[in-house]
Amino acid sequence: MRGILLLLIGATLVSCQTAPPEPVTRSAQGQADFVRLTSGKIAGPPVSCVPRYAVSDQTIIDGRTIAFRSAGGGTVYIAHMSAGCEAAGRGVYALFSRKFGTADTCRGDIQQVVDTVNHISIGSCVIGDITPYQRPR
């Protein structure tokens, strides 16, 4: 019952987005990370989930974008986040996943930003589109 309630809350959060998303403005370091990770790769159609076994590394590009690198290094998955996780990756703040039913990272998963010094939550967001970037064949 609790799982169903949490799933309904997550679906409600996703459905509350009525305005188009704000354009992402990246820092110079965030843009450099994005270019470094996607250089020479082509964006594919969005996927629903990134299999946990296929991911070896995670990079927070900015508070609205996270990159997951595949274990073999051939694919980079770029996950776009809803508003609320802008502090992720800054100083003492860390991003934690709230997963229900699967170990994979999927569209609709709730991410929570936690202050690791004071052990308090300072924000949360939901994973939106996940775009794979692969080298052309």
Give 10-residue mean pLDDT values along the chain (137 residues).
53 50 67 91 93 81 87 87 82 70 83 86 90 91
DSSP character at residue 47: B
DSSP-derived pairing of the beta strands 49-50 and 105-106: antiparallel
How far, in Å, CA of 9 to CA of 24, rounded? 26
pLDDT of residue 131: 95
pLDDT of residue 38: 93
pLDDT of residue 46: 95
How far, in Å, CA of 126 to CA of 119, rounded? 21
Question: Which stretches does DSSP call E strand in 14-118?
Answer: 42-43, 49-50, 55-62, 65-70, 75-81, 93-98, 105-106, 110-115
Domains of the chain, residue spans: 2-17+41-134
